[in-house]
Chain A
Amino acid sequence: MTTTGTKKEMVIFIVVIAVVGIAALVAFRIAGPMGIEERFQNALGIPHDAGDVPGDSGVSGFSLEGQPLLYAVVLCVLGIICIAMYRHFHF
């Protein structure tokens, strides 16, 4: 197999790229300019900054997002699990 390829396959590739690109531009025109999270919130009808409401701590009783200490704890636990699995399976 070669890196360059034939003229025919490049034409097919460019046509596919053009079609997808035009579809994406149409979608962008409809959706409007906004960030990734904002686009998701708009698409799903989630009120903006709903996650920052005080007391909104979910079913677990605490909010994990935005708490560095909890992230560190979860990361440490995952690290320990990885080391245990690595030692057990001898990759």
Chain B
Amino acid sequence: MAHIHLEDGSFTLFWVAVWWVIALVVIAAALIWVRSVKKTDNRKITLAAFCTAAAFAIFQVSIPLFGGVHLNLTPLIGILTGPALGSLIVLIINILSAAIGHGGWGLVGGNLLVNVTEVLVAYGTWNVLKRLFPGAFARAGIATLLGLFCGNLAMIAIILVSGVQGVTQSSSQILAGLTLIAGVNMGVAVIEAFITGMIITAIIKARPDLLEGERP
């Protein structure tokens, strides 16, 4: 559950623009990918809509664990909808979240890159581990853990590269602090790994046609 929980003005305008431009390039690539599919599968679109609603809702629910955290469901989004639709879903979630004050508008670009990393890594791991982990539960769980771990790395990298305005701490002090945040986040990733594993298992049992190559 990596998300840059900083207010507008934390990054300089230059870095806000840089992350937004990179995020827009990613979104453009996702749009081109989606449009390149001759006939879009209506089931995927429906699934994407459900994923958007569910992930946005769960994004706002603070779990009273580790002092208060929230789940993301980004790895689940990646596994169910793939990288192209997944990138568009996390864009919508980040915009709606910023609209209700969950992270600043200027940080939507950076947060989008963090969440896209989670979507991509989870999707890739889910597919790559097919042979090694034929069981869906463990594979989905490990894909979730790895996706969220890489999301945390992306979050740390973006903050370290950008720097935070009005902060006197050195880079090594910031890195130490962010590493602790990533460590705590991985505790939530454990819960999310179980949830993703259970949801994927349930979907394969009930609707195996929604996930290619899977059978109950």
Contact = CB atoms under 8 A, between A and B. Distances in A.
Nearest to B138: A13
A36 B68 contact: yes
Contacts of A63: 8-9
Contacts of A23: 183, 186
Contacts of B180: 27, 30-31, 39, 43
Interface string B149-190: 000000000010000101111000110011111111111111
Q: Which range contains the number of B residues in contact with the other chain?
A: 35 or more
Q: Chain A at the B interface: mostly helix, strand, loop or mixed?
A: helix
A55 interface: no
Interface stretch (B75-83, B116-124, B128-136): B128-136
Contact of A40 (B35, B70, B181): B181
A78 B142 contact: no
Contacts of A3: 135-137, 201, 204-205, 214, 216
Contacts of B181: 31, 39-40, 43
B191 to A, nearest CB: 9
A6 B137 CA distance: 10
Most chain B beta-carbon neighbours within 10 Å: one of A12, A65, A66 = A65
A44 B137 contact: no
A33 B180 CA distance: 12
A53 to B, nearest CB: 10
A89 to B, nearest CB: 7
Interface of A: 1-6, 9-10, 12-13, 16-17, 20-21, 23-28, 30-40, 42-46, 50-51, 56, 58-59, 63-66, 71, 74-75, 78, 89, 91
